[in-house]
Structure 1
Amino acid sequence: MKKVGIITLFGYNNYGNRLQMYATQKVYKDLGFESEIIKYKQEITYKDPFIIRLKILVRYILFLRTNVVITFLKKLRIKNFKKHAKKYYSESKKYVDPLNIDATFHKSYAFLSVGSDQIWGWFNYNIADLIFLQFTPKEKRITFSPSFGSAIIAEKYSKIYAQGLEGFNNISVRESSGTTIIKEFTNKEATVLCDPTMCVSKADWLTFATSHKKKPTKKYILTYFLGEKSPKVVSLIAELSKEYEIIALNSFNAPKYYAITPSEWVDYINDASLFLTDSFHGVVFSTVLQTPFVVYSRVGGESMQTRISHILEKFNMENRFEISENTASLFIIDFLKTEEIIAIEKLKVYAFLEESIR
């Protein structure tokens, strides 16, 4: 069976990232391909004088000493993710150096696929050879819903992106804003495809899901924030806590939930009475699993506005953005047309990929 090598953001700490990897592999399996996620690390090269590097090291050591619990929880999550990966994912045995990719590396694969997630984000400009698949012949390059993560690419990176994007025959992107970037740099038309996680049915996600040992038996409201919570959100959660148990994922203040596996993360969303989040994939899974949700702007972190706006518009759920009052409407969403929209988007994905691998 032919094999596809998958290039996406790589790590063992982000739920949405790991779940889109799983979904991407499932899609390629449906198309009759083996696949594996290509592991890579970005080494940080310091150009600072020795004294500056020493100060950075000292600050880091002090951080570890004063944040023992946080350090432990982060390591535990990585450990649990790696254990989970052995069961559910196929990954390359060795790590690739993105700055020094062997000229024969691509020969192990029939095709190389880039996406999904923010693999084309500006922060990856220094590994263009990897993210634009420039190490492999043009006819072996596939795009599967890569995201730029924003609506614009800074002028200082334009030459890198123009050269990289020109190397694809067919281009897909995850957000409609990405088509504008593609047009600007290549004058080509790009196809907007959904996130790979939407290509997996609710039934299949529930088969993948597992129940956390410490999951409550009574009704709960779930929160998952990658940034800080605004005062309005904090106030809303306090109000809701009078009637519901609050389960806070990704919070060091709730350590027993911090290191759950991706399968447990899916299960928590599925059984929640309400899900409050600032995460793109939080919205995706709420939609697929048909769990009432509210999504908020990210505070103190990378903006999610482009990605969030795109998916809310796609499903006509703009009214699920920034709700801050405790009303009955919090718990009511009309998911009537959700499955129909997802089915159409899924057909687009398979049609695009089948065309790309001919």
Structure 2
Amino acid sequence: MKKIGIITYHCSNNYGAQLQAYATCYFLHKMGHVAEVIDCNTIGKGPVFMWSCGSLRAILGSIRNNLLSLVSERKRHRLFEDFSRNRIGISKPCYTRQDLENACKKYDYVITGSDQVWHPMICEGNTYFFLDLPIPNNRKIAYAPSFGVSEYTQDEVDKYMPLIKEIDHLSVREDSGRNLIKKHTGRDAKIVVDPTMLLSKADWNKIAIPAKYSKYLFYFTILDEPEGTDELVRRIAKEKGLKIVRIGTVRDIMKRGFINARANGPQQFLGLVRDADFVVTTSFHGSVFSILYEKQFLCVLNNNDRNSRMETLLGNLGLKDRMVKDVNNFNMDNDISIDYESVNAKLNVMRNDSVSFLKDSISD
């Protein structure tokens, strides 16, 4: 039995971030280890109400968004905080560099990942996400981190790649990340599944809260979905005779034709995916849980460079036809049901390979 510390985005009000942190701890416990997330950052945890005063338009937009936040954000924040505090398993706070270095002395291994911990903007320049810590390299594990970008600037290469090169146990969750590491360090990183996929449907059902709705399409987006996605979702729902239950941005609360479900936490999110008749999402973890719960779903690719993790996962599982690259020219007539017997067979191979990586990494 080893004691393992995890550095990730554990307090972000983001479903994928908190669920992957929970999954990493949960699975390490199943392996017989003692694991906890190191409480060394508050990245992603923002105030309920935010103001922008740069112009009259910005002020009016802030007023609108803050009024909408009264509807859902307080409950949403409370549910996320409760899940982070009571479900994940978090260490005592260590927000200073010295406290973090002292805390690391008690762990046999430190893991960075999963999530986009190597995204240069999201990590806010904190090199401890790259395990820049006073611990031996053979105690450093990168499990399924994501870059979220296809390339680093030269300054970012100079800052982060020497640190990545020193991590003895190196894995990522998308092809573009593996290519980036190979290009700048010469090392081969292993592709592994996101920690949420190390858990079974039965594992997730232990904490999932049933949805309050029936006969619905679950529409889950992050950031801004491609123009035309709303219309595609409405068309699919009409054809299938389903209501539309949506989690989107605060602004999406105003849109007609959707049942707003934004005021839900991670456990309610699980139930919304599990109990849906169909799922449309722009989210990596929206796709992951659709697969784990064997849903018929579509993944709409965003107009940015964060699609590699979706493309890698869906490609490896034989689900490329679930990706929608152009919502305005997508033909639902080709909507063939997913053969989950085949998908699960591929997933089991990937899962077992990922478990082997973890076992090998922790057996030094």
TM tier, shorter chain? 0.7 to 0.9
| Structure 1 match to 2:47 | none
| Structure 1 match to 2:102 | 104
Alignment of 1:199-348 (within 5 A): 199-212=198-211, 215-217=212-214, 219-242=215-238, 243-250=241-248, 251-253=252-254, 256-299=260-303, 302-322=304-324, 327=332, 329-330=334-335, 332-348=337-353
- The whole-number CA distance in structure 2 between the counterparts of 1:92 and 1:290 is 34
Shift in CA distance, 325/159, structure 1 to aligned 2, threshold 3 Å: closer
Once the two structures are TM-superposed, the CA of residue 23 in structure 1 deviates from its matched residue by: 1.0
Once the two structures are TM-superposed, the CA of residue 330 in structure 1 deviates from its matched residue by: 3.4
Once the two structures are TM-superposed, the CA of residue 205 in structure 1 deviates from its matched residue by: 1.4
Are positions 1:93 and 2:95 aligned together?
A: no
| Structure 2 match to 1:47 | none
Asked if 2 retains the 8 angstrom alpha-carbon contact of 1:297 and 1:303, the reply is no
Alignment of 1:1-358 (within 5 A): 2-41=2-41, 64-72=62-70, 73-97=72-96, 102-124=100-122, 127-137=125-135, 138-212=137-211, 215-217=212-214, 219-242=215-238, 243-250=241-248, 251-253=252-254, 256-299=260-303, 302-322=304-324, 327=332, 329-330=334-335, 332-357=337-362, 358=364
Asked if 2 retains the 8 angstrom alpha-carbon contact of 1:266 and 1:285, the reply is yes
Shift in CA distance, 60/139, structure 1 to aligned 2, threshold 3 Å: farther
- The whole-number CA distance in structure 2 between the counterparts of 1:125 and 1:271 is 34
Could you report, residue by residue, the CA deviation over 1:325-344 in whole angstroms, capped at 9, with x for unpaired residues?
57465362121212212211
Could you report, residue by residue, the CA deviation over 1:235-261 in whole angstroms, capped at 9, with x for unpaired residues?
222324432111111342368511212
Once the two structures are TM-superposed, the CA of residue 38 in structure 1 deviates from its matched residue by: 1.9
Shift in CA distance, 67/233, structure 1 to aligned 2, threshold 3 Å: closer
Could you report, residue by residue, the CA deviation over 1:277-309 in whole angstroms, capped at 9, with x for unpaired residues?
11011111111111011111225xx53321121
The size of the alignment, in residue pairs, is 344
SS of the residue corresponding to residue 112 of structure 1 reads strand
- The whole-number CA distance in structure 1 between the counterparts of 2:282 and 2:133 is 35
- Extract unaligned runs of 5+ from structure 1: 45-53
Asked if 1 retains the 8 angstrom alpha-carbon contact of 2:53 and 2:59, the reply is no
- The whole-number CA distance in structure 1 between the counterparts of 2:95 and 2:31 is 26
Using structure 2 for the length normalisation, give the TM-score. 0.85
Equivalent position amino acid for 1:274 in 2: F
| Structure 2 match to 1:51 | none
- The whole-number CA distance in structure 2 between the counterparts of 1:61 and 1:96 is 33
Asked if 2 retains the 8 angstrom alpha-carbon contact of 1:125 and 1:157, the reply is no
Shift in CA distance, 259/55, structure 1 to aligned 2, threshold 3 Å: closer
- The whole-number CA distance in structure 2 between the counterparts of 1:143 and 1:57 is 43
Structure 1 range deviating more: 72-81 or 144-153: 72-81
Asked if 2 retains the 8 angstrom alpha-carbon contact of 1:239 and 1:326, the reply is no
- The whole-number CA distance in structure 2 between the counterparts of 1:86 and 1:183 is 37
Identity level (%):
27
Using structure 1 for the length normalisation, give the TM-score. 0.86
- The whole-number CA distance in structure 1 between the counterparts of 2:43 and 2:265 is 26
Shift in CA distance, 229/353, structure 1 to aligned 2, threshold 3 Å: closer
Shift in CA distance, 62/108, structure 1 to aligned 2, threshold 3 Å: farther
Asked if 2 retains the 8 angstrom alpha-carbon contact of 1:280 and 1:308, the reply is yes
RMSD of Structure 2 on Structure 1 (CA):
2.8
Once the two structures are TM-superposed, the CA of residue 22 in structure 1 deviates from its matched residue by: 1.2
- The whole-number CA distance in structure 1 between the counterparts of 2:43 and 2:223 is 25
Asked if 2 retains the 8 angstrom alpha-carbon contact of 1:161 and 1:185, the reply is no
| Structure 1 match to 2:49 | none
SS of the residue corresponding to residue 123 of structure 1 reads coil
SS of the residue corresponding to residue 13 of structure 1 reads coil
SS of the residue corresponding to residue 275 of structure 1 reads strand
Shift in CA distance, 303/38, structure 1 to aligned 2, threshold 3 Å: same
Equivalent position amino acid for 2:171 in 1: S
Asked if 2 retains the 8 angstrom alpha-carbon contact of 1:4 and 1:112, the reply is yes
Asked if 1 retains the 8 angstrom alpha-carbon contact of 2:181 and 2:189, the reply is yes
